[in-house]
């Protein structure tokens, strides 16, 4: 490391340090990330070092005078990105693949929240989140969810909880994801990408998976901003593209497909593509299920379908139930789970599909298809996902149902 850069880093370590994050490992490194933050132990201020290695975290406490040596030890040899935050400045340093060092210092606007972190000695039992409050995560800060101390911003707790809830769903499906090659993940309708960044951070930084994540959305300004942030954090395998779910053909094989709040039949196009790609995992939070609301008819149910609100909710539940059943027929173990939405709307269902390792018997598929067709007839509906997949299902739906 250049002496002038080490000198600037040393100066900034001596100004009420908030935290240090050393990230973006060099190829072949067993260490994913190193963090440091002040802690108070028996009235003495020390600095807690967390070394994230594979699926484990190793801790040790050192004194302030040892921090510059720690930074010099890791930067360049093990890591290529440094973030130092104190109450006055934010220092960032990047080392290119050719060894070129770039260092920038940005002055922080002083607020009452710019105080050094201390260890939380409270014995109150709180919910254990995957991303704990008090952990500084750069993308959460830039997206306005946490402060520079890692504290959740007032009014952003719902987003913070939603992000952690989403990561819990991903944690559950980790056994279905391979670690011997790079995984491709597609996020359709990524929007501002709170959850896309969280997914990359969790899979790549915390869990050490080799992963490439592509976010797709129609809003050019949002996509441009997300790409800027990904570049800033050194998330070199996280890219955002402008595009439509129905027309996207950028990859031929995908390991996981995520679609959150894709409106109406956009969800069906995403699910259809996921099935045709043979994705190992599908995570979908549907939104605005208008399609079946226009079709739903039934003489027996007419007394309650005359009420618009009742019909709307029944149509939404029927839409997602039929989607889940088609995924089962297509070879996925499917669950319909509750998902807390950041906007507090009734749209809080998550459909999670994990591809089955074994093939279902033809007789079982025929039976499920027959039941599915009967339910469609009863409700007098023709769901978009059925139309998109009917020529792809293990047994051609219309032909085999007639034979049953």
Report the CATH number at residue 368: 3.40.50.150
Q: Which of 114, 145, 170 is the last residue of a domain?
A: 114
| 102 lies in the same domain as 170 | no
| 197 lies in the same domain as 268 | yes
In a domain, residue 151? The reply is no
The rounded distance, in Å, linking the Cα atoms of 368 and 132 is: 43
Enumerate residue ranges in the chain where pLDDT < 50: 111-126, 342-345, 397-398, 400-404
Helix (H, G, I), strand (E, B) or coil at 76: coil
Q: Which of 114, 146, 180 is the last residue of a domain?
A: 114
Helix (H, G, I), strand (E, B) or coil at 49: strand
Reported as a single tens digit per residue, the pLDDT across 344-365 is 445 578 999 999 987 778 888 8
| 249 lies in the same domain as 350 | yes
Q: Give residue 1's pLDDT.
A: 67
**DSSP 8-state assignment for residue 160:** H
Phi/psi of residue 324, nearest 5 degrees: -60, -40
Sign of the alpha-carbon dihedral angle for 118, 124, 127, 128: positive
| 94 lies in the same domain as 170 | no
CA angle 133, 154, 43 (to 5 degrees): 45
Beta strand 17-25 with 31-41 is: antiparallel
Token pair 């994230």: residue: 52
Residues 332, 323: contact at Cβ < 8 Å?
A: no
**CA distances in angstroms from 283 to 128, 161, 181, 333, 359, listed in the order given:** 23, 18, 21, 12, 21
Token pair 């390792």: residue: 357
The rounded distance, in Å, linking the Cα atoms of 157 and 141 is: 13
In a domain, residue 89? The reply is yes
CA 222 from centroid of its chain's CA atoms: 17
Q: Give residue 272's pLDDT.
A: 93
Tally the C-alpha atoms within 13 A of residue 171's C-alpha that lie toward its C-beta.
13
Phi/psi of residue 266, nearest 5 degrees: -60, -35
Rg (CA), the chain: 25
**DSSP 8-state assignment for residue 364:** H
Phi/psi of residue 355, nearest 5 degrees: -60, 130
Beta strand 211-217 with 183-188 is: parallel
| 195 lies in the same domain as 46 | no
Residue 161 in tokens: 């909880």
Q: Give residue 212's pLDDT.
A: 94
Reported as a single tens digit per residue, the pLDDT across 224-243 is 999 998 998 889 999 999 98
Q: Give residue 395's pLDDT.
A: 55
Reported as a single tens digit per residue, the pLDDT across 117-154 is 333 333 333 456 788 888 888 889 888 899 888 889 98
In a domain, residue 10? The reply is yes
Q: Give residue 396's pLDDT.
A: 57
Q: Give residue 112's pLDDT.
A: 42
Packing angle, helices 308-329 and 266-277, rounded to 10: 10
The rounded distance, in Å, linking the Cα atoms of 148 and 138 is: 9
Q: What dihedral angle (degrees, nearest 10) is formed by the CA atoms of 184, 187, 192, 197?
A: -30
pLDDT averaged over every residue in the chain: 83
**60: domain range?**
3-114
Q: Give residue 44's pLDDT.
A: 76
| 311 lies in the same domain as 372 | yes
* Secondary element (H or E) of residue 238: strand 238-242
Q: Give residue 115's pLDDT.
A: 41
Residue burial 320-359, b: 16+ Cβ < 10 Å; e: rest: bebbbbbbbbbbbebeeeebebeeeeebebbbbbbbeeee
Residue 291 in tokens: 């399609």
- Looking at the chain, the whole-number percentage of residues with pLDDT higher than 70 is 89
| 245 lies in the same domain as 388 | yes
| 166 lies in the same domain as 288 | yes
| 49 lies in the same domain as 166 | no
In a domain, residue 65? The reply is yes
In a domain, residue 120? The reply is no
| 106 lies in the same domain as 253 | no
Residue 366 in tokens: 């025929």
Residue 311 in tokens: 């019909």
In a domain, residue 291? The reply is yes
| 179 lies in the same domain as 53 | no
In a domain, residue 88? The reply is yes
Q: Give residue 401's pLDDT.
A: 46
Residues 32, 53: contact at Cβ < 8 Å?
A: yes
Reported as a single tens digit per residue, the pLDDT across 9-46 is 888 887 788 889 998 888 888 888 898 888 777 667 88
Sign of the alpha-carbon dihedral angle for 23, 26, 27, 32: negative
| 394 lies in the same domain as 324 | yes
Count of domains observed in the chain: 2
In a domain, residue 140? The reply is no
The rounded distance, in Å, linking the Cα atoms of 367 and 365 is: 5
Q: Which of 114, 139, 170 is the last residue of a domain?
A: 114
> Please, which residues have CB within 8 angstroms of residue 161's CB and are 6 or more apart in sequence?
129, 340
Q: How many residues does the chain have?
A: 404
What's this model's pTM, rounded to 2 decimal places? 0.65
């Amino acid at each position: 490391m250049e002496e002038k850069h080490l000198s600037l880093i040393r100066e900034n370590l001596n100004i009420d340090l908030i935290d240090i994050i050393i990230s973006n490992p060099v190829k072949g490194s067993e260490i994913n990330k190193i963090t440091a933050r002040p802690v108070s132990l028996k009235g003495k201020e020390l600095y807690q070092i967390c070394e994230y290695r594979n699926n484990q975290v190793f801790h040790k406490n050192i004194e302030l005078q040892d921090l510059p040596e720690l930074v010099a030890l890791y930067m360049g040899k093990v890591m290529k990105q440094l973030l130092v935050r104190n109450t006055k400045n934010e220092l960032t340093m990047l080392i290119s693949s050719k060894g070129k060092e770039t260092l920038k210092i940005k002055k922080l606007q002083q607020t009452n929240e710019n105080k050094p972190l201390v260890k939380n000695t409270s014995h109150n039992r709180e919910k254990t989140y995957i991303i704990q409050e008090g952990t500084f995560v750069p993308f959460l800060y830039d997206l306005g969810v946490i402060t520079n101390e890692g504290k959740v911003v007032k009014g952003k707790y719902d987003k913070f909880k939603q992000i952690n809830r989403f990561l819990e769903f991903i944690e559950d499906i980790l056994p279905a994801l391979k670690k011997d090659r790079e995984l491709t993940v597609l996020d359709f309708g990524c929007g501002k990408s709170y959850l896309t960044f969280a997914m990359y951070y969790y899979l790549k930084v915390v869990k050490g998976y080799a992963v490439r994540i592509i976010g797709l959305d129609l809003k050019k300004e949002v996509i441009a901003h997300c790409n800027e942030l990904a570049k800033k954090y050194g998330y070199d395998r996280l890219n955002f593209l402008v595009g439509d779910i129905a027309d996207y053909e950028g990859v031929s094989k995908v390991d996981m497909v995520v679609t959150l709040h894709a409106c109406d039949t956009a969800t069906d196009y995403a699910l259809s593509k996921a099935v045709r790609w043979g994705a190992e995992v599908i995570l979908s939070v549907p939104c605005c299920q208008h399609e079946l609301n226009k079709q739903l008819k039934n003489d027996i149910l007419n007394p309650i379908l005359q009420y618009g609100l009742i019909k709307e909710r029944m149509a939404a539940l029927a839409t997602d139930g039929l989607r889940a059943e088609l995924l089962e027929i297509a070879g996925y173990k499917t669950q319909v789970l509750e998902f807390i939405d950041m906007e507090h709307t009734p749209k809080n269902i998550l459909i999670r599909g994990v591809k089955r390792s074994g093939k279902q018997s033809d007789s079982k598929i025929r039976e499920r298809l027959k039941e599915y067709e009967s339910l469609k007839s009863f409700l007098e509906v023709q769901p978009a996902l059925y139309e998109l997949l009917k020529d792809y299902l293990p047994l051609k739906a219309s032909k085999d149902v007639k034979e049953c």
